Structures are given as C-alpha cells and as structure tokens.
Amino acid sequence: MLCSEIDKLAKVTLIGYPATGKTTLTKLLAQNEINRLYFPTHGLDLKTVKLEEYILRVWDLGGQQSYLKTYSRDYLLGSDIIFIVTDSTPRNVLNSRELINYACHFVGKDCPIIAIANKQDLVKTDGRMDYKRVEDILHIKTYGLTAIDPSERVKLLNIIKKELDKIAIRRRRKD
C-alpha cells in the first residue's frame, strides 16, 4: 500500500451493548441491505467504505460481554474514531457511560469518542431518549440517528468526514 493511501486510511470502531444497532450502522455505511431481524454479531465484522478521499475500515464489535472483555482492548487500539452506540433507552444510555470510560483508557486525545443515540424514530412512541438528553448524560458529543433509515447514511458519513477532517488538521499542525 502506498504511503499516500495509508494517510487516508481511517479506522472507525463501533462499540456498544447488544442490539443497539452497531451492525445496522455498519450496513448503512456499506450500503448493504438492512433487515429488521436481529442476529448478534459473533466476534466482529469488518467493512471497507470509501468516503471521498478517505478509505474507512469499519470495525463492528459484538456487544456481548465476553467479546467486549476479550477483544475490545485490541480492537480499540489504533482507532481514529470510536462510536459508542446506544439504543437511547434510559438503562442502556446509563450503562454506556462505562464503555466511554473504558474506551478512554486505550486511545489518546486525538481519537474522538462520539455517541450515537440510535433508534431516534422511537422517541415519541417507545420512551427513547432524545439525543440531546443522551448527550447530557454521557458528556460526549452525541448524534441522533435512525440506522434503519437508508437516508441517514449521508448524515453519518458527514459526521465521520467532519471528524476526520478535524483529525487531519490536528495532525498537520503537529507535523
């Protein structure tokens, strides 16, 4: 791989408890078919997504405790962006604080840790928390998304692009 290509490679890691929508977000990015059936991710899944000049390697880690305990440390290392995915239920949002603290141990300040308050389509009907409330609880930048809606792909790509551009500026300053 050429040096210029390596510069544009970005490792995007998704972590979160089971059934929060990490795989659906990954499928959304990769433009794979999204169905509503829930199949837990065993271990992890990887997808490559082209985003303008960037090549994103998206790491989708299974949310089961044994996967998180065994693998998350290794998979978080080297991340350019970490997304903490919640399903916006109050219990899940509260539990997700633990994941943020955990992720902070393995990455430097250069790596943004961003929350995705997923399943925002259920805010009015199923007691899910509005993304701004999720942000208040988690104390990290939070975006609201509905991963099952293919039109949200652009929004997610814009979030990633914005963060990668910021990282690129920081790196250039350092150099």
Question: Judged by CB, which is closer to another protein: 64, or 102?
Answer: 64
Shortest Cβ 26–another protein spacing (Å): 13
Nearest to 65 by CA among 35, 40, 94, 29: 40
Quick check: 150 binds another protein (CB under 8 A)?
no
Indicate whether 54 belongs to the interface with another protein (CB under 8 A).
no
User: Is the CB of residue 158 less than 8 Å from the CB of residue 127?
Assistant: no
Strand 9-15 relative to strand 44-51, pairing: unpaired
Angle at which helices 90-104 and 65-76 cross, to 10°: 40
By C-beta, is 21 or 144 nearer to another protein? Answer: 21
**How many CB atoms sit inside 10 A of residue 124's CB?**
9
Segment holding 34, helix H or strand E: none
What's the min distance (Å) between Cβ of 15 and another protein?
15
Rg, C-alpha atoms of the chain: 15
- Residue 36 Cβ vs another protein, minimum distance, rounded to whole Å: 5
Least distance CB 78 / another protein (angstroms): 4
- Spell out the SS3 assignment of 59-113: EEECCCHHHHHHHHHHHHCCCCEEEEEECCCHHHHHHHHHHHHHHHCCCCCCCCE
Q: Is 69 in the site for another protein (CB under 8 A)?
A: no
* Of the residues 7, 31, 52, 70, which one makes contact with another protein according to CB under 8 A: 70
Q: Verify binding: residue 41, another protein, rule CB under 8 A.
A: no
Least distance to another protein, CB of residue 170, Å: 18
Q: With binding defined as CB under 8 A, does residue 98 bind another protein? A: no
Q: Is 83 a residue that touches another protein (CB under 8 A)? A: no
Asked if residue 132 lies in contact with residue 106, where contact means CB atoms within 8 angstroms, the answer is no
Question: What does the binding site for another protein look like in residue numbers (CB under 8 A)?
Answer: 9, 11, 17-19, 35-38, 43-46, 57, 59, 70, 78, 87, 89, 91-92, 95
